[in-house]
Structure 1
Amino acid sequence: MSTATATATASAPAAIAPLRQDAGVIGLVGLAHMISHFSQLLLAPLFPWLKADLNASYTELGFLMTVFFVVSCSVQAASGFLVDRMGPRPILFGGLALVGLAAFGFALSPNYWAMAACSVLAGIGNGVFHPVDYTLLNRKVSAPRLGHAYSFHGITGSLGWALAPALLVPLAIAFGWRTALAGAGTLAYGVLFVLWLNRRRLTLPAATVPAPARAGAHPAEGSFDFLRIPAVWMCFFFFFFYAVVLSVIQAFAPEAARQLHGVPVALAGMCLTVYMVCSAGGMVLGGFLAADPKRCEKVVAAGFGVAALIALSIGFGPVPALAVPALFGAMGFASGIAAPSRDLLVKRSSPENATGRVYGVVYSGLDIGQALSPLLFGTLMDHHQYQGVWLGLVVFQSILIASAFNVRRVRRTVLAPA
């Protein structure tokens, strides 16, 4: 491949593959992505049980989540290099195996520090999924179907978040938290078994798996030169801000809305579920809109713009308590519409031979944002600044709009194989 700089092109199949072939890849990748999001909520739904049995505070239990995301961030950036060198399939299988092992480790942990060690293991497993998933989708799915592939990928992630409490809490009530976590481990290994049975669908053609430079080759650029591409860093910061928005909605927005508008506790508890379900619906529509790459920035801006206006109305408007869950749903739908086009922004910024590395670095911004966001917004909640929480959410949603258009303005380059 030429080492001269040029406009990066999408690494898509030259011809449209049969629908069944593309659907198989999309389905398997989505199944793995569901387990990634499921693993992020292995512990949080079980905090009431863990607090009593481990004699730990909520701060200490929250630290287990911080450990998870810090490790996941570090691994996500590094795993992209492994994906580009070894191909995505072995990295994916390793990640799923580690997530399952961590779940069984949680179930057998005798004390808090054993749980912390398992959080490290779970973070390592979770850190591989985005570089793997997007490498497989970008390399194996036909270009006209990529928008739908990104849409389905986002939907399965939301389903993974929804599945964790739906599975773990009933098991914990019926059999205890250790059995619940053992069930989570069984699920992870069950998915690994399904993917192993269909492993041929997850193999890249030999020519598309970049290999180390052969003897006598003198590549002009190295493995880290993709970091000089401004669009990569614009995408990184875009996903950092996106993670802040998502973290606020998941952790603080329902309670802040409850305090502002007198929403009943049961109704406030529905807000996040409504948001996630409607977000998944928005992703379906967003998949069609992402079919035209030329308008992806406009779709992102429109989606987050509407979401920001809704957030502003919740934070500062005279909203009836019964209307709050519906507004959460509308905000989720608008954000979901933007999601497939958001992923397309990264694809357009990725040199075709550095897909894993780019997605590893870019999506590490998600973990960093989710690790840092509670420090700011948790302080606002502690000081009863509930309107401040919603104002901060609007500010970060607005930053997302500007970031999307900035990605388009920067020049991309093509790298030599690493």
Structure 2
Amino acid sequence: MQSTTTADWTKPKHDTEEAPSRRNLTGACVAHCLHDGYTDQLYAFLPIWQAEFGLSYAGLAILRSLYSGTMGGLQIPADRLTSRMSPRVALALATAVAAAGFLVMALPLGLPGLCVGLVLAGIGSSIQHPRGSLLVTETYGSASRGPLGVYNFAGDVGKATFPALAALLLPLIAWRPVVGMMAAIGLAVAFALLGILPKQSFAAPRQRSRSGGSDGRGFPLLVAIGAFDTATRMGYLLFLPFLLHAKGGTETTIGVGLALLFSGGALGKACCGWLGERLGVIWSVVATEAMTALFMIATLKLSLPATLVALPLLGIVLNGTSSVLYGTVPELAKKGEVGRAFAIFYTGVIGAGALAPILYGTIADHSDQTMGVMAAALTAAAIIPMVVSLRPVLRS
């Protein structure tokens, strides 16, 4: 059976050629949706955990970093460990391990049990990103920018739905049963992936070498830009539940606010992809990061209704930038090392997402949450000169 080559993935193909690539993309998207949903639904639990365990802002950031830090720090080892596994087995295993972590969190084991569960879930999610990204890249070769955008968009679908679902359930039942339900969803998805993904890999070996056509110049700077972009996003998300609460929002309002932000982020994938095609990588990132900083500062002053209106707009630019950066990874990766490049990229961005909230939380603990949000906004502004420095490499 032939695999999909570098032909435009949107053009009609014979069914025997189209089905494997479509199944690969669908499976990768389903896994990305669940794992990103797992990651961002944790924000809905932060106010509850703060009250139950008596944690400070920095303490909450450290607690959450047990998940995100483990996920980011194990990207490269996980990619190497599962390199001999088929994508089908690797993604199903990743999802099952993450679901097991949420199952441990749901048990009445106190704060230590919660910490162990977060680490275990992070181990599972560390496998998904590099293997899912590489699967899409190998399947579509040099035509992978579009499918990678779809894959990235699927993650934002999870970011929009899982926090909203958790927020709707939390006023009705205790948080541990809610986490248990999330674990059950994860186990169901793990079994579903075994049916969606082909048992045999359909990626042509020559596509792996073609998808990474650079000598790696500029890639470290791209990783740094991605890290700052993620730090901005995670820093703001740390304070958003408390910002809405201070404006008079309830737990349900907080869930709605997160859903609005993430829904805007999902839309931002398409908008920023369109923007990137017309303005290029440099100017699209400059525009989105400048607007991100302005919107963040604006939400500090707006009323609760006005803030809820602004959150989808903020989400478009806050999350949309990552789609532009993500699609550039195969272009700046060294030849034949796209999988490793994605693992390094995710190590940088997820590691920044784990560490930055601790820094912002410490700033807020020694001042207030306004200063924490301002620090995140300044981080977004700092990306602008960094991405301009990337111009000579992209031109070459």
TM-score when normalising by structure 1: 0.77
Is the CA contact 1:303–1:335 (under 8 Å) kept in the aligned structure 2?
A: yes
**Aligned ranges for residues 131-150 of structure 1 at < 5 Å?**
131-141=130-140, 143-144=142-143, 146-147=145-146, 149-150=147-148
Report the counterpart of residue 219 of structure 1 in structure 2: none
Report the counterpart of residue 342 of structure 2 in structure 1: 359
1:274 equivalent to 2:260? Answer yes
Report the counterpart of residue 216 of structure 1 in structure 2: none
1:380 equivalent to 2:363? Answer yes
SS at match of 2:99: helix
1:310 paired residue among 295, 314, 328:
295
AA in 2 matched with 1:248: G
2:306 paired residue among 309, 312, 323:
323
**Aligned ranges for residues 13-412 of structure 1 at < 5 Å?**
13-17=5-9, 21=19, 22-41=21-40, 43-46=42-45, 56-59=53-56, 63-82=62-81, 84=83, 86=85, 88-141=87-140, 143-144=142-143, 146-147=145-146, 149-171=147-169, 174=172, 176-200=174-198, 203-205=201-203, 207=205, 229-253=216-240, 255-256=242-243, 263-266=247-250, 269=254, 270-290=256-276, 295-314=280-299, 319=302, 322-410=305-393
Is the CA contact 1:84–1:356 (under 8 Å) kept in the aligned structure 2?
A: no
Is the CA contact 1:249–1:272 (under 8 Å) kept in the aligned structure 2?
A: no
Deviation at 1:336, TM superposition (A): 4.2
Residues 120 and 313 of structure 1, relative CA distance in 2, 3 Å threshold: closer
Distance 1:86 1:412 in 2: 37
Distance 1:268 1:108 in 2: 27
Distance 2:79 2:395 in 1: 19
Report the counterpart of residue 15 of structure 2 in structure 1: none
Is the CA contact 1:84–1:209 (under 8 Å) kept in the aligned structure 2?
A: no
Distance 1:252 1:239 in 2: 21
Distance 1:155 1:202 in 2: 26
Unaligned runs of 5+ residues in structure 2 are 13-17, 210-214
CA deviations on 1:344-373 (whole Å, 9 max, x unpaired) are 222211134212211111111222222222
Distance 1:387 1:170 in 2: 27
Is the CA contact 2:5–2:204 (under 8 Å) kept in the aligned structure 1?
A: no
Does 73-82 or 283-292 show the bigger shift? 283-292
AA in 2 matched with 1:81: R
Distance 1:369 1:159 in 2: 22
SS at match of 2:178: helix
Deviation at 1:400, TM superposition (A): 2.2
Report the counterpart of residue 8 of structure 1 in structure 2: none
Deviation at 1:246, TM superposition (A): 0.7
Residues 201 and 276 of structure 1, relative CA distance in 2, 3 Å threshold: farther
Deviation at 1:95, TM superposition (A): 0.8
Q: How many residues align?
A: 378
Is the CA contact 1:103–1:184 (under 8 Å) kept in the aligned structure 2?
A: yes
Share of identical aligned residues, percent? 19
Is the CA contact 2:97–2:123 (under 8 Å) kept in the aligned structure 1?
A: yes
AA in 1 matched with 2:131: V
Does 180-189 or 18-27 show the bigger shift? 18-27
Deviation at 1:296, TM superposition (A): 2.1
Deviation at 1:377, TM superposition (A): 1.9
Does 117-126 or 78-87 show the bigger shift? 78-87
Structure with larger Rg: 1
Distance 2:315 2:292 in 1: 7
Distance 1:102 1:258 in 2: 29
Is the CA contact 1:67–1:119 (under 8 Å) kept in the aligned structure 2?
A: yes
Unaligned runs of 5+ residues in structure 1 are 1-11, 212-227, 414-418
Residues 109 and 372 of structure 1, relative CA distance in 2, 3 Å threshold: same
SS at match of 2:328: helix
Deviation at 1:291, TM superposition (A): 5.3
CA deviations on 1:238-284 (whole Å, 9 max, x unpaired) are 1221121111221125645876xxx4435973543322211211212
Report the counterpart of residue 212 of structure 2 in structure 1: none
Residues 134 and 402 of structure 1, relative CA distance in 2, 3 Å threshold: farther
Does 230-239 or 84-93 show the bigger shift? 84-93
AA in 1 matched with 2:344: V
Residues 177 and 326 of structure 1, relative CA distance in 2, 3 Å threshold: closer
TM-score when normalising by structure 2: 0.80
